[in-house]
Amino acid sequence: MTLLIKLFEQFGQSPWLDNLKRDWIHSGELQGWIDKGVRGLTSNPSIFEKAISDSVAYDEQFLSLINDGRTIEEAYWQLVQTDISEALQLLKPIHDSSNGIDGYVSVEVDPRLARDTAATMNAARYLDDQLDSKNLYIKIPGTKEGIPAIQEMVSEGRSINVTLLFSIERYEEVIEAYMSGLEKREGDLSDISSVASFFISRTETEVDSRLDEIGTSEAIGLKGKTAVAQGQLAYKLFLEQISTDRWKTLETRGANLQRPLWASTSTKNAAYPDTLYVDQLIGPKTVNTLPDGTLAAFLDHGTLERTIDTSFGQATEVLESVEALGIDLQDVAAQLEIEGVAAFENSFENLLETLRQKAQLLRH
């Protein structure tokens, strides 16, 4: 039994893979990860930029689409939908055997729509209707403009992965959007699912940089602690919210938990253990989506121990100490959200440009 399987069976945390490549689907590598204990899959524009730009596996379908008169952007979405559809089939047995808890594949709406509520909703509806699978998550950024879109999509019975969360305050708004969306929907709620993706290592990198600027021994002593502490307190909020009478009422109608999902869990600082953001965030009713390198590291030398809720008090002290030094975590979150949206937009634009160049090459 692998550590990934034990992580789920003994500690109630679902390990997901944060990557997707057509080569992996066809070579059996993705199935190999599933056999090792992976229970879901996430993708984003940066992942598809790398996958499509670095491989010839997409060329035949891409050329066919272009020759059929599709635009570059239309062809891109068809390439994405093909990969997502095949991944959905590979993970369907897990979805079925877990009664809809796991086995999900996430695909993100056009990142250029992150500040446009109506356009985000239209894009989410289109992708959800096109792919039409019970184990599909549509990824919507948890921006201010994304919150009403999330609520509306849930009320329409669509399953959503809320991405790009960097603060507990915004996470609380996401929980509210999920519950409100469920409350707006009539009848049985058991076919709706959601996760809330809390980004971990990006927060650490930004806070550590600000601690380095302060440079005192107290500041340096706090490096490498903020991201885990914030994740742990997000979990505390989750536990509080699912203990309310409001949630209990929704549960009687079949509502599924919106599980916290730890994203951006590869360590960016080589001085930190490569499994830090797995080892320190283990607990029930959660998901951790890991790049393949971090998955391999955890399989090799990860630590299996319940850590997510061992010391909420200590986590609170860490965040209070960071803010006492003049670091505004709300400002950190706002900056990271802007940078996160921009990074996905850039990946999307870069990929479209790569495809334009590829179209010229393949036609000659």
Query: What are the tokens at 283?
Result: 């607990």
Nearest residue to 327 (alpha-carbon basis) of 204, 231, 241, 234: 204
Q: What are the tokens at 15?
A: 């390990």
Question: H/E element holding 61?
Answer: helix 59-67
CA angle 209, 210, 214 (to 5 degrees): 120
Active-site annotation holder among 139, 236, 285, 358 = 139
Whether 236 is a known active-site residue: answer no
The CA distance from 120 to 125, in Å, is 9
Q: Residue written as tokens 């634009």? A: 349
User: Is residue 299 within 8 Å of 3, Cβ to Cβ?
Assistant: yes
CB contact at 8 A, 105 and 41: yes
**Closest C-alpha among 139, 185, 178, 172 to residue 46:** 139
Length of the chain: 364
All residues at 6 or more sequence positions from 140 whose CB lies less than 8 Å from its CB, including other chains: 108, 109, 120, 124, 146, 149, 150, 153, 160, 161, 162, 163
Positions marked active-site: 139
